[in-house]
Structure 1
Amino acid sequence: MRKLLLLTTVILVGLVFIARLFYLQVYDNAVYNIFEDNAIRKEYNYPKRGYVYDRNGELLVANQPSYDVMVIPREVAPLDSLDIEEFCSLLKITREDYDKKLERATHYSPRLPSPFVPQLSKRDYAVLQEKMRKYEGFYIQKRSLRSYQTTIGANVLGDISEVNRSIISKHPYYKLGDLIGNQGVEKTYEDILRGVKGIKFIQKDRFNKNIGPFKSGVLDTLPQPGKDITITIDSNLQAYGELLMKHKRGGIIAIEPGTGEILAMISAPSYNPNLLVGRDRSKNFSQLYRDSIAKPLFDRGLQAMYPPGSPFKTLNALVALQEGVVTPEERFSCAMGYRYGNRKMACHAHRSPVNLNAGVAQSCNAYFANVYRRVIDKYDTPAEGMDVWSNHIKSFGLGDYLNNDLSVGQPGKIPSAQTYDKGYGKNRWATTYTISNSIGQGEVLATPIQLANMAAAIGNRGYYYTPHIVKNIEGDTIPEKYTTPKYTTIDKRHFEPVVQGMFDVYNEGTASTLRVPGIDICGKTGTAENFTIIDSVKTQLTDHSIFVAFAPKDNPKIAIAVFVENGYFGSRFAGRIASLMIEQYLKGETTRKDMENFVLKYSLEHEYAKPYSGEPFGINRQSTLDPVSEEEYQNLLKLRAKIPKS
């Protein structure tokens, strides 16, 4: 009986094992996942990241070899103190760093590889490689780091940084230690530039030792290199713009009106993109990030929202013409400003009365207050008129992100009836409550890229292309949305009077001293009020200097917007910079050395220091001119001489 019971038990256990094996091999639909197999080691082979060229074929971003020391904590053999000290010396880390890094890697996964010390130099790698056999559980993985072939365009190009757990959870392609585009072109075109990792599967034995390729390497894959891209930036123009913005803060955007291609995208102050490469990246990034005063990581050309000031008047003129509330010939009087109720919007001295042409050329506040009121009051209620006005303005790309291919941006602000309903209550406000909109103040905010796009739309007489940074992708085409024109709500016939007015800004108006020989430039100066909070008090600082322009007058090749923070009136700094950059782009050189020397010679750093130093803010919000040292001035002239002719 006992023999029978024992035999039965053995048979039943055998049948259970057979049934289980049969089920797993025949009926179990679960797919074998090699990536979850702990007996298989995965080694990634990183691809060459795509190169970045400027519009003229100049190489801006290449690659350089880098070596990461990787660790698999479970495989780390015990080391005596002398070996650890030697290893730390080779890696240029402390014993405390060693323990922390090993603990972090173990916490991530004792079985999976993770970076221990990333981005070794060639020299460090050469010394370490000979002794790696002594340190079981550690190995060296080769990859590419960026090599910036330029010192300009940090905000344009961006950088690459190590992925964090949040990115890994959202994008399983990335593993701990992988690099990803962090900002600029590197971020926007990450999927194109990065390529595809290759992988090798290595079989391990029961002692966790490598015994060779898994299945003779048939599942291994080769890396696919990233695609090269050409961006729309003219590196010479970019370098020149960054030079002109030395010792100043602000943003410059230059666009080719016929394509929407961004020719220059300057944010000041800037920094050398090479600071964010290599083992010092973290330290350098922290220093840039913690600079809460100059904010070098803040892209003022794309993210800073300013009152657009007088350049915005051109849109109010176009809306008034479209709405039929004024003709180009109609004149309005200006008695040093515009009175409404018991208040007055001041204006500078100029001849009076003025028509549209003179209103634009002389930047008359009274003229634009009148035509703005006519637009709003044309309709039964201010709310209805405000929405009509708002929709016209938004058709130029203001109040919108523009749906471009840039990594950061802000929408700006164009008010609507809802804006004032929230502030004052429905049907409890009148046109005069919003009168500051007529001169680009009030509730209106715009970024430099939006105003450059506005200038391009005016230069094109009613349409624009979405501003974009990509010009060509290796083996591919750019999205159709960048080659399809977008039309404003203003009829083409209404643009010519406004264009003529902008042309006369240079001939007889507020920019008459900024003319460039041989180029017909249409522009508009602007001075925007500038407030900040100091000790909980709203304080008015020196006005911002603003200028928008396009050239030539017919079939323009460049449109530009320049914002110089605390630069005072538009023609002082912004107008000079715009004129110089237009000439540099169209002629390949500059002839107005007087303007160039002025911009290079004077600094605004003293203006930016005033809120923190207790100095006065100047008389009538007018910035004082503070020359740079003679040594710095000569250095800037040397930098200017290095910028080649286009």
Structure 2
Amino acid sequence: MTDLYQSRRYTIQLIIIVITLIFIARLFYLQVIDKDYKQLAKATVLRQTTVFPARGLVYDRNAKLIIDNQKEYDLWVTPGQVKEIDTVGFCDLVGISDTFFRETLKKAREYSRFKSSLFVKGISVDKYAAIQEELYLFQGFFGQVRTVRAYPYHSAAHVLGYISEVTPKQIDQSDGYYKRGDYIGTGGIEQSYEKALRGVKGTRYVLVDVHNKEMGPFNEGKFDTAAVPGKNINSTISIDLQQYGEKLMKGKIGSIVALEPRTGEILCMISSPEYDPSLLTGQDRGKNFRLLLTDSLNPLFVRPLKAAYPPGSTYKATLSLVGLQEGAITPSSSYNCPGAYYVGSLRVKCDHSGFVPDLVAAIQHSCNSYFCNYFRRTIDYDEDHSVAQGLDDWKKGLGYFSLGQKTGIDLPNEGYGFVPGSKYYDKIYGEKRWNSVTVVSLGIGQGELGETPLQMVNVISAIANRGYFYPPHISREIIGDDSMLIKYKTKHVIPIDSSNFNVVVEGLRQVVLAGTAAASQIPGVTMAGKTGTAQNPHGNDHSLFVAFAPVEDPKIAISVVVENAGFGAQYAAPIASLMIEKYLNDTISASRKPVEQRMIEANLIKHAAAGKSHK
């Protein structure tokens, strides 16, 4: 009997021990292993919030503030804290639909019941003040302030960029910096200088009661870390010149890019149609972005960086320099133009006819026959080399000016343009089955040749400098850290004799004095330039003009492209000359006011579906 009781006692003791071990194991799991329980317990009394730093401000070259900050609020939710609430009352308070509420809360729960998720973003200060008064009624929801962008001049959207919510891919690539719901620079300066502008996030711990009201800092803020504001940037652009260019390009499709030749600093960069950058801020950002994205005129497309146009006659100055250096052309090279260039059954029309005594006159009158002839001589010049080698040497010469490659501007998504080489034509026609006649259209800037407006202005800037350029750039100074800008201080010297540049500059000066751009002269300012008419198989020809001034001491170089506008002298040259005059003199002379008015009033967009999302 004693043994029986003894056995039962051991059994009961074993059961008690097992149950105790189970409780200990469970407690260990909940308190040590299971982070969700720990997070829920902490979230009930302690809230960790991110303190977002103020993004760096951006100024123009004259210290005018062009990107500012303003406060707005985001509404966040911790799903595990959400109890039965008055959904209708909450939706009315915040200004959202019941469907949006349920779908967003479902996504937040799928992400995590205990981690906070962004619920509604971009709430204005005034609206959030009304929400905050009643937010304690809705447990699990809380507001978080952040600074967002403001654009005092409502201009230069393609240069400045905007901020948007980070994507999962960006989060994965950020080494833990970005979290779901964070914002990041997209496009323009905002993207290129994101690391400098964003600053460093801080952390704040606050105590909250059961009604979701903040009770004050935890442990007197000893565990808080301060946010570090982003660095300010002084940009190179002149916001006044930028706005004037946008005014001139209103009702037109195309671009204007102007820079300072001696430094490579971008003075303005207009991509038309333009849009107000303020459209991509606040709660209506998503709706406005969709309107811009679906607009048939494609206002989000950054034409100065990505659109590759046949340069037309604007390229004849570049060909002249390559031909001079190769020895295929001399300053005194002449040609008798019969009004077209003929070879076999091929005819290339020329608006000039008669004897061309030298290269300066050929540039001045933009003689197609002359340049077709001397382009062929350039690639056929060396009898020891094949036509393929001659074309590749020509391509190499264009590469000195950054044609067919990126200029390296400090803005994202720059295009390459296109300069065809022998491999390109071998693929189309077969090796040794093409010759200089096949590609003669390259001699007048047509065919497969493509240049971006940025490349065009970089070329004319190098010519203005008589043989060198600095990489074009949009940032002049990052306050407190200029290490990112060192590469823009590197001088790129073009291996072409300076004497050759002098000949070409004189030809460009004659274009404005007594050539195709004579109607665009600026009183009291010597300007050199070249008109261009780029053939367009999809509609009217594009109007192009490149120029610099003053000729003796260049302070501005410019390229203008107006799509479907006809000859270069019709629109591109007048617009460019007005931009130069405005920059150099800060005003337009009385004699040229009619030209200014005509350019401003001209509406060349004949598109029934033109939207209202752009300017």
Same fold (TM over 0.5): yes
Residue 369 of structure 1, aligned match among 372, 377, 386: 372
Residue 430 of structure 2, aligned match among 412, 425, 431: 425
Give me the whole-angstrom Cα distance separating, in 2, the residues matched to 1:12 and 1:86: 51
Higher mean C-alpha displacement, 401-410 vs 259-268: 401-410
Q: Quick one: which amino acid aligns to residue 55 of structure 1?
A: R
Tell me the equivalent position of 1:54.
Answer: 60
Q: Quick one: which amino acid aligns to residue 395 of structure 1?
A: Y
1:122-521 residue pairs with structure 2 within 5 A?
A: 122-171=125-174, 172-201=176-205, 217-291=221-295, 293-379=296-382, 380-477=385-482, 478-521=484-527
Question: Can you list the C-alpha shifts for 1:497-530, whole angstroms capped at 9, x where unaligned?
Answer: 0000000001111011111111110000000011
Give me the whole-angstrom Cα distance separating, in 1, the residues matched to 2:119 and 2:333: 74
Aligned in 2, Cα 1:228/1:336: closer, same or farther, shift over 3 Å?
same
How much has 1:272 moved relative to structure 2? 1.0
Q: Which one has more relative contact order, counting CA pairs under 8 Å at least 6 apart?
A: 2
CA contact (8 A) 2:352 2:365 kept: no
Aligned in 2, Cα 1:605/1:11: closer, same or farther, shift over 3 Å?
closer
Give me the whole-angstrom Cα distance separating, in 2, the residues matched to 1:203 and 1:138: 14
How much has 1:192 moved relative to structure 2? 1.0
Aligned in 2, Cα 1:322/1:7: closer, same or farther, shift over 3 Å?
same
Tell me the equivalent position of 2:3.
Answer: none
Q: Quick one: which amino acid aligns to residue 522 of structure 1?
A: A
How much has 1:600 moved relative to structure 2? 1.6
Classify the secondary structure of the residue corresponding to 1:131.
helix
CA contact (8 A) 1:50 1:228 kept: yes
What's the TM-score once normalised by structure 1's chain length? Answer: 0.86
Q: Quick one: which amino acid aligns to residue 285 of structure 1?
A: F
Aligned in 2, Cα 1:133/1:510: closer, same or farther, shift over 3 Å?
same
Give me the whole-angstrom Cα distance separating, in 1, the residues matched to 2:148 and 2:256: 29
Unaligned runs of 5+ in 1: 22-27, 533-540, 614-638, 640-646
CA contact (8 A) 2:139 2:211 kept: no
CA contact (8 A) 1:253 1:562 kept: yes
How much has 1:555 moved relative to structure 2? 2.5
1:19-58 residue pairs with structure 2 within 5 A?
A: 40=42, 41-58=47-64
CA contact (8 A) 2:88 2:98 kept: yes
Classify the secondary structure of the residue corresponding to 1:578.
helix
Give me the whole-angstrom Cα distance separating, in 2, the residues matched to 1:44 and 1:397: 45
CA contact (8 A) 1:303 1:410 kept: yes
Classify the secondary structure of the residue corresponding to 1:145.
strand
CA contact (8 A) 2:39 2:114 kept: no
Matched, 1:574 2:572: yes
Unaligned runs of 5+ in 2: 1-5
Residue identity over aligned pairs, in percent, reads 44
Matched, 1:76 2:82: yes
Q: Quick one: which amino acid aligns to residue 296 of structure 1?
A: P
Question: Can you list the C-alpha shifts for 1:70-90, whole angstroms capped at 9, x where unaligned?
Answer: 1001101212xxx32221111
How much has 1:572 moved relative to structure 2? 0.3
Question: Can you list the C-alpha shifts for 1:201-238, whole angstroms capped at 9, x where unaligned?
Answer: 46899999999866764442111011111111101110
Aligned in 2, Cα 1:210/1:109: closer, same or farther, shift over 3 Å?
farther
Q: For the aligned residues, what is the CA RMSD?
A: 3.0
Give me the whole-angstrom Cα distance separating, in 1, the residues matched to 2:552 and 2:603: 35
Q: Quick one: which amino acid aligns to residue 118 of structure 1?
A: K
CA contact (8 A) 1:158 1:183 kept: yes
Give me the whole-angstrom Cα distance separating, in 2, the residues matched to 1:206 and 1:86: 20
How much has 1:350 moved relative to structure 2? 4.0
Question: Can you list the C-alpha shifts for 1:400-429, whole angstroms capped at 9, x where unaligned?
Answer: 121221122210001111111111111221
Question: Can you list the C-alpha shifts for 1:178-197, whole angstroms capped at 9, x where unaligned?
Answer: 11112111111111111111
Classify the secondary structure of the residue corresponding to 1:576.
helix
Give me the whole-angstrom Cα distance separating, in 2, the residues matched to 1:313 and 1:464: 19
Higher mean C-alpha displacement, 236-245 vs 215-224: 215-224
Classify the secondary structure of the residue corresponding to 1:223.
coil
Aligned in 2, Cα 1:551/1:99: closer, same or farther, shift over 3 Å?
same
Aligned in 2, Cα 1:210/1:53: closer, same or farther, shift over 3 Å?
closer
Q: Quick one: which amino acid aligns to residue 410 of structure 1?
A: G
Q: Quick one: which amino acid aligns to residue 436 of structure 1?
A: S
Give me the whole-angstrom Cα distance separating, in 2, the residues matched to 1:343 and 1:419: 22
What's the TM-score once normalised by structure 2's chain length? Answer: 0.90
Aligned residues: 591
Aligned in 2, Cα 1:339/1:560: closer, same or farther, shift over 3 Å?
same
Give me the whole-angstrom Cα distance separating, in 2, the residues matched to 1:602 and 1:8: 96
